[in-house]
Amino acid sequence: MKQQITLSAFNLGIGYRLRGGKEKVIHPNLNLQLYSGQVTCLLGMNGAGKSTLLRTLCRFQPSLSGEIEIMGKPINLFTQSELSLTVGVVLTEKTNAGGITVFELVSLGRHPHTGFFGQLKEEDYKIISASLDAVGITHKSDTYISELSDGERQKVMIAKVLAQECPIIVLDEPTAFLDVTSRIEIMILLRKLAKEQNKSILLSTHDLDLAIQMGDCLWLQSRDNPMKRGVPEDLILDNSLESFFRKDGIVFDRTTGKLSSPLSKIPVGVEGDFNTSYWAGNALTREGYLPSTPSADYTSIKCVSPTEIEIKYANGTVGHACSIEEMLKCLTNRIL
């Protein structure tokens, strides 16, 4: 499918209008494009203004300056009902919907399409059940919202947005309160929707790993710098992510794509079975060593299997460990 620009912003200033004509500017100048068929992850520290940006793009709050265009049309020319057919949202706001069923909540997504009394027609029913299917929650149709897990609630809200049939979907921290598996599930679901239904999906998140793993495009928002955008791997390779996350005591590791404490200079060689050596390296990094290619100058570890680890010390002696835990103990006893 052809990827089109669905939403763009030019010289967009975001922030709040205070009393007396003053403005609290969060970001003075943002230029962005959102594409169809893509999952775009908005990353930024707390206070960088992620929510403010999302709220501005959905017209929940006015921009301070600049232009937002949706489907090529300035956002301020949209009527409220037109906008509700174009941009759908999933928010972190607490709802009061515990007493209605999953089906009823998803049917609220049909509101912009139905008449004055909200009567559902046959087509609406079809779209609602298709939306329930797409997020895989059809079996809970008649369950009360209050009886769902957090992950299921999030899926229902996504189904609601699907029933709304908007080409653009904006989600504010959709994975924030979820456990690890639900986070991945939701991200896989969003990817699937972007690809299969050609939606533009924009979400804010603090999950760096997931964003790198699942995002087609990352937006890096910080208060004082212009917005960086790009495919995650490009942003890693050109050091954008590294400089974005630079902070005392924290380092973005270009090889693993993870944030960690600054790398130590004590090298330890690692070789052998791929799986074991990968996780041995993980443990060594955590303990403050620098996993390197084996050499006679420093201690090296040869991983034969997860239960058979050989430690060659720098002085030539050899030790054996049958778990990573034991290996770490040997190292701390001998090297330091």
Kindly tell me which of 170 and 210 has the beta carbon lying closer to another protein: 170
Q: List the structure tokens of 297.
A: 């100058």
Task: Report the residue from 8, 33, 101, 213 that binds another protein according to the rule CB under 8 A.
Answer: 101
Total residues contacting another protein by CB under 8 A comes to 36
Which residue stretch of 115-123, 238-246, 248-256, 286-294 sits at the interface with another protein (rule: CB under 8 A)? 115-123
**Judged by CB under 8 A, does residue 114 bind another protein?**
yes
How many other β-carbons are positioned within 10 Å of the β-carbon of residue 307?
10
Task: Report the residue from 145, 201, 235, 284 that binds another protein according to the rule CB under 8 A.
Answer: 145
According to the 3-state scheme, what is the secondary structure of 124-160? HHHHHHHHHHHHCCHHHCCCEHHHCCHHHHHHHHHHH
**Judged by CB under 8 A, does residue 18 bind another protein?**
no
Distance separating the N- and C-terminal Cα atoms of the chain = 58
How many other β-carbons are positioned within 10 Å of the β-carbon of residue 270?
20
Residue ranges in 81-100 that form contacts with another protein under rule CB under 8 A: 81, 83-85, 87-89, 91, 93-100
Q: Distance (Å, rounded) from C-alpha 11 to C-alpha 20?
A: 24
Which residue stretch of 80-88, 231-239, 279-287, 325-333 sits at the interface with another protein (rule: CB under 8 A)? 80-88
Q: Distance (Å, rounded) from C-alpha 205 to C-alpha 210?
A: 9
Kindly tell me which of 4 and 114 has the beta carbon lying closer to another protein: 114
Task: Report the residue from 45, 69, 144, 298 that binds another protein according to the rule CB under 8 A.
Answer: 144
**Judged by CB under 8 A, does residue 255 bind another protein?**
no
Give every CB contact of residue 297 below 8 A, 6+ residues apart in sequence.
314
Percent of residues in the chain assigned helix, strand, coil, to nearest 5:
35, 30, 35
Which string of x and - marks every residue 44-73 that binds another protein (by CB under 8 A)?
--------------x-x-------------
Cβ atoms 271, 250 nearer than 8 A: no
**Site residues, another protein (CB under 8 A):** 58, 60, 80-81, 83-85, 87-89, 91, 93-101, 104-105, 108-109, 111-112, 114, 116-118, 142, 144-147, 164
